[in-house]
């Protein structure tokens, strides 16, 4: 923090603020400060903001949830700040169900609570939160966690009510009831708010398009800066940082920790240390997604030849993964079970690794549901997951609604097969070892198939090589 040690946390005195537990950093304010701090401020405009675009969509979602739990009081907390270290916190990110049901996203306040109180014909929604403090109160200047002198203006109740189209009240007026159903504590409600997101509404689909668009620009940035990554001893961090700049400048944040995995690191599915070199001749696997201000996130993976061109073996593996992805695309359409998309990709993976002599059995034997699975050594993860306001959206949905569920128009999910031959895997020829490839796209189920939302980001081996040549010709 840029403030000096002596005034980083400022208080009036222990009588006003309670027990002083950090006396080495707290300094009492002189009387002159206390006498004048509340005066000399311009009047704030009292104009209510226009209602945000998402508000009617959030109201419709609340109505659907209301119909599932007639007569029950429903509580959806936003969550609280989480300590990172000592007196510093992680950036606040509201609980996904709270953001989905209120429309309050990147600008939401910690410790807020949405309550749906049962009334005749449904529920009445009230949003409880800590509204901004009047500048005549000690909180304004003395509380480093919520004081506006420290963190900037906080919203007023009337403004939030107009913005979101929902009743508001001060958090001090919120009282829990013994029979409340609380998201995160009541299984049926937690499941319901997750399943509510399986089919996206028009606002959500538009936000997914935006998130994918910004993510595509982030991948362009990465390609354009590959030479910088190669020149740095921790080039993976350069890749991560380049993408972070785009995520923060054009969006809210990343939707998850970026994977920038070069060389053998690409074989570790969730490599997020990103502390390795980016070496010519290797592949670099980048799995990244921008979370936009509405908190909806993309989830894209591309695997790039650092030197600009694939070796014959790298190309063989890459194009096999693309073939598996294309098979999954062809299988995905309304009425098909979600798990059948994965099965289509795995047929290709099993057939190709069997052709290469990597399996002790035939492809047909490997695909046997009970006694097979030999090919899964090289692709242990699933091909798809739902995507939206969470990168792994709808995760609390019932199995029969998710993995065994039937695809419907409006669903958004990933298609992301891969092949990973770890550097010390003696079951594969040496030329394959250390090669990891994943290609991941985000798709929207339409009336007759799926739309690849990320189709503008190069996918084929030839397209990827041309992409690098265009954006990084001197790399």
Residue range 181-199: average pLDDT? 96
Kindly state whether residues 170 and 213 are assigned to the same domain: no
Kindly state whether residues 9 and 86 are assigned to the same domain: no
- Quote the strand ranges of 248-308, DSSP E: 253-254, 259-262, 283-288, 290-291, 300-305
Q: Is residue 88 part of a domain?
A: yes
Give residue 12's pLDDT band: very low, low, confident or very high (50, 70, 90). very low
Kindly state whether residues 24 and 113 are assigned to the same domain: no
Q: Is residue 254 part of a domain?
A: yes
Kindly state whether residues 179 and 253 are assigned to the same domain: no
The CATH number that applies at residue 85 is 3.40.350.10
Q: Is residue 44 part of a domain?
A: no
Measured CA to CA, the distance from residue 144 to residue 141 in angstroms comes to 8
For residue 376, the 8-state DSSP code is G
Output the pLDDT for position 140: 85
Residue 244 CB contacts under 8 Å (≥ 6 apart), including other chains: 254, 258
Kindly state whether residues 73 and 181 are assigned to the same domain: yes
Write the CA distances from 359 to 235, 376, 429, integer angstroms.
35, 10, 12
Backbone angles phi, psi at 353, to 5 degrees: -70, -25
Residue 36 CB contacts under 8 Å (≥ 6 apart), including other chains: none
Kindly state whether residues 138 and 155 are assigned to the same domain: yes
Give residue 231's pLDDT band: very low, low, confident or very high (50, 70, 90). very high
The CATH number that applies at residue 378 is 3.90.230.10
Number of domains forming the structure of the chain:
3
**SS3 call for 375:** helix
Q: Indicate the average pLDDT of the chain.
A: 93
Kindly state whether residues 252 and 187 are assigned to the same domain: no
Output the pLDDT for position 151: 84
Containing structural domain, residue 21: 5-30
pLDDT digits (tens, 9 = 90+) for 233-292: 999 999 999 999 999 999 999 999 999 999 999 999 999 999 999 999 999 999 999 999
Closest listed residue to residue 287, CA positions, set 273, 271, 276, 275: 271
Q: Is residue 40 part of a domain?
A: no
Measured CA to CA, the distance from residue 406 to residue 412 in angstroms comes to 13
pLDDT digits (tens, 9 = 90+) for 298-332: 999 999 999 999 999 999 999 999 999 999 999 99
Contact 283, 446 (CB under 8 A): no
Write the CA distances from 207 to 30, 212, 265, 295, integer angstroms.
50, 9, 32, 9
| Residue 104 in tokens | 């309050």
Give residue 25's pLDDT band: very low, low, confident or very high (50, 70, 90). low
Measured CA to CA, the distance from residue 283 to residue 306 in angstroms comes to 6
Q: Is residue 43 part of a domain?
A: no
Kindly state whether residues 207 and 310 are assigned to the same domain: yes
Q: Is residue 36 part of a domain?
A: no
Burial class for 119, CB neighbours closer than 10 Å (0-12, 13-18, 19+): exposed
pLDDT digits (tens, 9 = 90+) for 338-393: 999 999 999 999 999 999 999 999 999 999 999 999 999 999 999 999 999 999 99
Kindly state whether residues 190 and 76 are assigned to the same domain: yes
Measured CA to CA, the distance from residue 152 to residue 53 in angstroms comes to 25
- Quote the strand ranges of 267-416, DSSP E: 283-288, 290-291, 300-305, 412-415
**SS3 call for 380:** coil
Measured CA to CA, the distance from residue 118 to residue 386 in angstroms comes to 31
Kindly state whether residues 410 and 330 are assigned to the same domain: yes
Give the number of other CB atoms < 10 A from CB of residue 123: 21
pLDDT at 49 over 90: no
pLDDT at 97 over 60: yes
pLDDT at 6 over 60: no
**SS3 call for 339:** helix
pLDDT at 2 over 60: no
Give residue 23's pLDDT band: very low, low, confident or very high (50, 70, 90). low
C-alpha radius of gyration, the chain, whole number: 26
Kindly state whether residues 342 and 269 are assigned to the same domain: yes
Kindly state whether residues 144 and 212 are assigned to the same domain: no
Measured CA to CA, the distance from residue 443 to residue 460 in angstroms comes to 17
Q: Is residue 45 part of a domain?
A: no
pLDDT at 137 over 70: yes
pLDDT digits (tens, 9 = 90+) for 144-189: 878 888 888 888 899 999 999 999 999 999 999 999 999 989 999 9
Output the pLDDT for position 475: 59
Residue at a domain's end among 195, 227, 261: 195
pLDDT digits (tens, 9 = 90+) for 418-464: 999 999 999 999 999 999 999 999 999 999 999 999 999 999 999 99
| Residue 173 in tokens | 């007026």
Closest listed residue to residue 346, CA positions, set 397, 312, 381: 381
Residue range 460-472: average pLDDT? 97
pLDDT at 134 over 80: no
Residue at a domain's end among 195, 226, 247: 195
Contact 193, 182 (CB under 8 A): no
Q: Is residue 48 part of a domain?
A: no
Contact 160, 30 (CB under 8 A): no
Give residue 135's pLDDT band: very low, low, confident or very high (50, 70, 90). confident
């Amino acid at each position: 923090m840029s403030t000096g040690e002596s005034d980083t946390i400022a208080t009036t005195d222990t009588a006003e603020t309670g027990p002083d537990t950090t006396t080495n950093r707290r300094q009492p304010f002189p009387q002159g400060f206390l006498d004048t701090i509340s005066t000399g401020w311009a009047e704030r405009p009292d104009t209510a903001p226009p209602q945000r675009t998402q508000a009617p969509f959030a109201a419709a979602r609340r109505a659907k949830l209301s119909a599932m739990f007639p007569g029950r009081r429903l509580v959806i907390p936003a969550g609280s700040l989480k300590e990172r270290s000592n007196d510093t916190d992680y950036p606040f990110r509201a609980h996904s169900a709270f953001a989905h049901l209120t429309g309050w996203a990147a600008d939401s306040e910690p410790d807020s609570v949405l309550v749906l109180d049962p009334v005749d014909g449904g529920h009445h929604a009230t949003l409880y939160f800590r509204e901004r403090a009047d500048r005549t109160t000690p909180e304004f200047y003395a509380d480093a966690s919520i004081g506006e002198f420290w963190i900037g203006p906080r919203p007023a109740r009337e403004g939030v009510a107009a913005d979101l189209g929902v009743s508001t009240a001060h958090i001090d007026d919120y009282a829990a009831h013994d029979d409340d159903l609380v998201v995160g504590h009541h299984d049926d409600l937690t499941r319901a708010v997750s399943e509510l997101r399986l089919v996206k509404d028009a606002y959500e689909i538009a936000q997914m398009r935006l998130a994918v668009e910004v993510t595509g620009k982030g991948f362009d940035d990465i390609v354009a800066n590959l030479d910088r990554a190669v020149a740095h001893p921790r080039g993976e961090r350069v890749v991560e940082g380049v993408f972070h700049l785009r995520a923060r400048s054009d969006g809210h944040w990343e939707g998850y920790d970026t994977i920038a995995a070069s060389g053998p690191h690409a074989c570790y599915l969730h490599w997020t240390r990103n502390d390795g070199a980016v070496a010519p001749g290797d592949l670099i696997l980048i799995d990244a997604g921008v979370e936009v201000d509405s908190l909806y996130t993309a989830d894209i993976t591309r695997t790039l030849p650092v030197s600009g061109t694939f070796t014959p073996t790298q190309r063989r593996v890459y194009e096999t993964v693309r073939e598996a992805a294309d098979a999954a695309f062809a299988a995905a359409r309304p009425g098909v079970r979600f798990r059948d998309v994965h099965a289509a990709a795995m047929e290709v993976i099993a057939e190709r690794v069997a052709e290469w002599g990597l399996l002790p059995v035939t492809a047909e034997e490997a695909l046997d549901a009970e006694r097979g699975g030999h090919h899964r050594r090289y692709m242990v993860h699933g091909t798809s997951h739902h995507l939206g306001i969470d990168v792994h959206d709808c995760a609390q949905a019932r199995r029969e609604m998710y993995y065994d569920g039937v695809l419907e128009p409006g669903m958004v999910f990933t298609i992301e097969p891969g092949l990973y031959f770890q550097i010390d895997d003696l079951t594969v020829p040496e030329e394959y070892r250390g090669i990891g490839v994943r290609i991941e796209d985000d798709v929207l189920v339409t009336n007759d198939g799926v739309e690849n939302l990320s189709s503008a980001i190069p996918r084929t081996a030839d397209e990827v090589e041309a992409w690098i040549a265009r954006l990084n010709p001197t790399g």
